[in-house]
Structure 1
Amino acid sequence: MTKMVATAAALQQVERGELDLDAPVDTYRPEFAELQVLDGFDGDTPRLRAPASRATVRQLVTHTAGLSYFFWNADLVRYEAVTGLPNVVPGDARALQAPLVADPGTRFEYGINTDWLGRVVEAVAGTTLDVVLKENITGPLGMDETVFALGDARQGNKTPVHLKGEDGTWASAGNVLPDDPEWWSAGHGLHSTPRDYIRFERALLRGGELDGVRILSQEMVDAAFSDQLGGLEMPTEIASADPATTDTLHLGPGWTWGYGLLLNTDDVPGRRRAWSGAWAGLLNTHFFIDRSTGICASIYTNSLPFISEHEAWKLYGDFESALYAAL
């Protein structure tokens, strides 16, 4: 669940006056201006065009810059297949050459927006993302087990990813993330523990402060938990383009996006209250922060596919319902 941690680091830079959310991304990362919009295919030849506008940093934060993920966009799956461009998971820096699939500001498209946001954060800070997060988020909050690269002493504590075989039994698939990527991704890649990550959740629950350490202002946390889509609609469903990686995400109505957080605009009966903030990690880790009720919670597996409807997603819902029933 790296994205919200990296987003918080970007919001810190905004508060310090170092980063302008409304500035074009290429102000900080000139190479972003080279990206084009994938507008279809002529046979197996991708059809590319210039974007109608320059994507802003704010659009990276809200997943409205036009970038996508291969597992939720069939055109991007096809583009990677015909061009040989890697996706972002293996840690190859060429993955950032992936085209946009929509003009900036025209729709919510969940994708490698936060990966690019991390590159912006690095440009502003003048150092690498691992250092930024350690100095500004994980270090101050005492999250000492939250790191990108695991040393030898920690490797034995790393839970391998599990997949279900055709016979219905779970088996280890080993480790998905490389320990020596070419770049630190703000969209994925942090290793952590439930005990560590709940400290980050609690800081957001408490308005940006925990145990006397403030990582964000109350006003910025309020903004993160507010609708930031600017009139664009949150999709009610995001179809899977790679069933081995993820199921289709069935959200339904009543959701929007803040700064790095999925927000429910109405109470969920028997569960979280309106304007709770939540998100997840690809390997079926989930968290939510309900500021109205005053609780935060998270649940962890290490499995694929993401949001498996009858297993991980159901377990998450059952866990939340049981928690609220016990309050």
Structure 2
Amino acid sequence: MSLQAQIIKTLDDGVARGAVAGAVFGVIDRDGRVLVEEAVGVRALGLEQKMTKDTIFPIFSCAKLITAIAAMQLVERGQLRLDEPLETVLPELAHVRILQDDLTFKPAVTKITLRMLLSHTAGFSYSSNPKLAKYLDVSPLAVPELSGKRKDVLETPLVYEPGTSWEYSVAMDWAGEAIMRVTGLTLEQYCEQNIFQPLGIRDTSFSLTPQQRENLVGIQIRKDDGTLAPGDFSPFPFVDNPEYQSGGAGAFGTLSSFLKILTTMINGGIGPNGARILEESTVKTMWLDQAETFPLAKEAIRNEDIDINSFYTGVKGTGRGWGLSFQLNLTQLPTGRSAGSGTWIGVANLYYAIDPVKGLATALFAQSSPIFDTAVCRLFAELETAVYDDFTEA
């Protein structure tokens, strides 16, 4: 059976068993050849529109890679510094305080750098942090950071001393803010000029156009009985009415376009069309394990309780590192993905993986809640296994 036939069968099986209502999956190699790209199912339950390769997704935290690429371009140009205090660009960072367990504050001693923001070692968190949730008076399951309001992202305190731990956070929103400050452009304007246009991408943005909205995917909710039900984007108000452009979660686009961006991370900064958007040395910097750069944060970075690979492989002990915006796996995964590969997610069950050893990038775009839906994770593992089995046979 050809790889394409195997992928179609696996996706169809996923729809049949209720893992997804619809999804798009794709594989691209470092030379920019799309090996497989298939869409199955429907855009939303209760609607007749089929899922297609042109379907627009809120890509949520997959946007962090785009923001990191933009920030590193500005490092190359000398407009940002990776390891110098960023308060020269963002004066607010000089005044952020650390939230204590008793909900009092203490000043931070260490200056926050861009590297800390890109590696989630700056001291910020999300409201899923129990201490921060208590301070904000929200449920840890709430996501006020996706409200589309600037204050809900950039006015939250630190939860630890910068550089001393690792915690997934709003740090990439601060990085996006730095990009806008030094360039005088919106995040969308900057990325359009320096990432999207050079790579030939025409359908990715940080705000929905009317045409994109017509092609927007719907979201499903996994019920207690395991079935999917129609949902809406009310938990994610930024989808309908963003007040600012979020570098951490605010982009929209197709899987096709995201594959082009992934190619640059396995081809030394060069896209499928031959356009260079990053120097090879910069890409190598993004792949460095920041556990070695921040020894005080090493234990937190290595914490396998939050290893996303274990969610879709069911295996712990693969080793966890962190690059500049994505997780690293330190040993080969059961699916066949190489040691030293990278991966990350979007909260509505979007998954990508980048393998610089074998020169492959894969992505599965679904749209359901909650995050790390077991059924979707299993589907991604099955798809990735099929890809690597075919690669080995070839």
Instruction: Compute the TM-score of the two structures, normalised by the length of structure 1.
Output: 0.90
d(CA) in 1 for partners of 2:335 and 2:226? 31
CA change 1:82–1:165 in 2 (3 A) is closer
Sequence identity percentage: 32
What is the CA–CA distance in structure 1 between the aligned matches of 2:335 and 2:213, rounded to whole Å?
39
1:301 to 345, 349, 366: 366
Residue 168 of structure 1, CA deviation: 3.2
* Residue-by-residue CA offset, 1:222-257 (whole Å, 9 max, x unaligned): 111121231323122249xxxxxx99x996451111
The equivalent residue for 2:39 is none
Alpha-carbon RMSD across the aligned residues, in angstroms, is 2.2
Q: Contact 2:318/2:333 (CA < 8 Å) preserved in 1?
A: no
Measure how far apart 1:20 and its partner are: 0.5
Any idea what SS the aligned residue of 1:122 has? helix
Structure-2 residue corresponding to 1:242: none
Q: 1:172 to 1:252 in 2, by over 3 A?
A: farther
Report the residue type matching 2:241 in the other structure.
D
Letter in 2 for 1:169: T
Determine the C-alpha separation between the residues in 2 that align with 1:169 and 1:124: 47
Would you say 1:26 and 2:90 are equivalent positions? no
The residue identity in structure 2 corresponding to 1:226 is L
Aligned pair count reads 313
Aligned to 2:216: 158
* Residues 289, 200 of structure 1: alpha-carbon distance in 2 compared, 3 angstrom cutoff: same
Q: Tell me, which stretches of 5 or more residues in structure 1 are unaligned?
A: 240-245
1:284 to 340, 343, 349: 349
Return the alpha-carbon distance in structure 1 between the equivalents of residues 264 and 117 of structure 2: 23
2:306, 2:135 → 1: CA distance? Answer: 19
After the TM superposition, which of the residue ranges 128-137 and 227-236 deviates more from structure 2?
227-236
Structure 2 counterpart of 1:106, from 158, 161, 164? 164
Closer, same or farther in 2 for the Cα pair 1:252/1:65, shift >3 Å?
Answer: farther
CA distance in 2: counterparts of 1:250 and 1:63, whole angstroms: 24
Match of 2:364, SS?
A: strand
What is the SS of the residue equivalent to 2:217?
A: coil
Residues 162-205 of structure 1, C-alpha deviations (whole Å, 9 max, x = no match): 10223433122222333332210000011111111111111222
Q: CA, structure 1 residues 6+139, in 2 after alignment: closer, same or farther (shift >3 Å)?
A: same
For 2:105 and 2:84, the matched residues in 1 are separated by 24
- Residue in 1 that maps onto 2:23: none
In the alignment, is residue 236 of structure 1 matched against residue 304 of structure 2? yes
Question: How far is 1:38 from its partner?
Answer: 0.8
- Where does residue 183 of structure 2 map in the other structure? 125
Q: What letter corresponds to residue 262 of structure 1 in structure 2?
A: Q
Task: Find the counterpart in structure 2 of residue 243 from structure 1.
Answer: none
Matched, 1:56 2:113: yes
Asked whether 1:5 is paired with 2:62, we answer no
Alpha carbons 1:149, 1:179 under 8 Å: kept: no
Structure 2 letter corresponding to 1:115: D
User: One-letter code of the match for 2:183?
Assistant: A
Task: Give the Cα–Cα distance (whole angstroms) in 1 for the partners of residues 249 and 278 of structure 2.
Answer: 22
Secondary structure at the counterpart of residue 182 of structure 1:
coil
Greater mean deviation of Cα atoms: 21-30 or 99-108: 21-30
SS of the equivalent of 1:40 reads coil
Q: Greater shift after overlay, 124-133 or 268-277?
A: 268-277
- Deviation by residue 1:97-117 (Cα, 9 ceiling, x = unmatched): 111111000011110010111
SS at match of 1:37: strand
SS of the aligned residue for 1:196 comes to helix
8 Å Cα contact 1:237/1:252 also seen in 2: no
Q: 1:36 aligns with which of 97, 105, 110?
A: 97
Residues 179 and 140 (structure 1), Cα distance of their counterparts in 2 relative to 1, 3 Å cut = farther
Post-superposition offset of 1:159: 0.7
* Structure 1 residue aligned with 2:283: 221
* Structure 1 contact 236–250 (Cα < 8 Å) conserved: no
TM-score normalised by the chain length of structure 2: 0.75
Partner of 1:70: 127
Given that residues 86 and 94 in structure 1 are in contact (C-alpha distance below 8 angstroms), is that contact kept between their aligned partners in structure 2? Answer: no
CA deviations 1:28-75 (Å, max 9, x no partner) are 11112221111112xxxx21111121211110011000101112x111
Q: Does structure 2 conserve the Cα–Cα contact (< 8 Å) formed by 1:286 and 1:298?
A: yes
Q: Structure 1 residues 78 and 252, CA, compared in 2 at 3 Å: closer, same or farther? A: farther
